[in-house]
Amino acid sequence: MIRPSTPLPDAIKAALLSMDSTLRSNLSVGMPLDLTVIARDACTVSLSRRIEADDEQFQAMSRAWSKALRDAFVRIEV
């Protein structure tokens, strides 16, 4: 999914979706989540974000991802 050529916004999205999946599958993992981005060849943080349980943007992404997975599951024929 992620390659060296993956744009940073897509890599961030993949990381957040991975965290969402981990939250759902591993009860020992919980909120808050911390996201930190350090750009290649940089020694400074370019993005830092704490995601709390009531984070509306993360919740919307989580719902959209769940719906996309359910829709894909229904479309796949065996």
Query: What distance in Å separates the CA atoms of residue 54 and residue 32, rounded to the nearest whole number?
Result: 10
Domain ranges of the chain: 8-71
pLDDT value at residue 5: 93
Give Cβ neighbours of residue 44 (< 8 Å, ≥ 6 apart): 38
22: nearest Cα among 75, 65, 76: 65
pLDDT value at residue 18: 95
pLDDT value at residue 32: 97
pLDDT tens, the chain, 78 aa long: 899 999 999 999 999 999 999 999 998 999 999 999 998 888 899 999 999 999 999 999 999 999 999 999 999 999
**Looking at the whole model, is its pTM more than 0.75?**
yes
